[in-house]
Amino acid sequence: MKINGRDIREFGARQHRVVIGHQSVKFSNEWLPGDVLPWMGRCTRGFKSVTVTLVVKGRSRSAILKKRSELLGLLMEPVVLDLDKNTHHFCAVLKSHKETEVSMQRWHNMELEFECYEYGDDVTVEGDSSLSVDNPGTAVSSCRVVITPGISSSEITLTGISMDPNTGADMPVKIPDVVKDKVIILDGIDGLITEDGALKLVDMWAYPAMKPGTTEVTCDNRLMDIEITVRPMFV
């Protein structure tokens, strides 16, 4: 197991057991008196719970206590967890911890409970006016769109990269004042819209994101090189 890329074996610890839950879900439903049918609202997703049990070994009780403290010190801010035998990553915050001195002078157990979200390795597709992007995740996933203009244009329009957060309907993105070779980045992963590194104003309702499965992306100008990176999210 790794915490922000650091192997916990540095601290005499190893991953013993992991319980991975799924994201919490909540529906805002209502059935008014007299109505034949209820109103069925959309789902709101929450964090998922991951509980990890570690075994921490040392030559003495004081040495083990220090290693436990060092491990907890790594978890005082949001971290990325890479669990053993799992190819996905977990952006997590520590919710609670519990320690048991199984063998006081030899090894202790640490039970760590996290709130987190789960994501896979980025998937990148390149093209021009028409791209098919496959999102292997099981939830709506953030994406980054990089546009390198081959020609200047007063405005270009892209479809398939942004959606209405309430209905899920596609919302075309209009980018004004496009200049040849000035790279435009619509970054739904880091939450930035830039042109050559400077902030840029575009007509867009929501940051780029894609549903699970295949999404068709189009641009009304064939002289634009487009690169799309999806970060798959999992329920």
- Distance between CA atoms of 234 and 231, rounded to whole angstroms? 10
Give residue limits of the domains in the chain. 2-119, 123-234
What's the CATH code, domain 2-119?
Answer: 2.40.30.200
**What are 29-59's pLDDT values in tens digits?**
888 898 899 888 777 889 999 999 999 999 9
Arithmetic mean of pLDDT, 195-199: 96
Q: What are phi and psi of 233, to 5 degrees?
A: -110, 150
For 125, 143, 158, the CA distances from 133, given in Å and listed in that order, are 6, 10, 14
CATH class of 123-234: mainly beta
Statement: residue 163 has pLDDT above 90: yes
- Total Cβ atoms within 10 A of residue 176: 12
What is the per-residue pLDDT for 39?
84
For 60-100, the pLDDT digits (tens) are 999 999 999 999 999 999 999 999 999 999 999 999 999 99
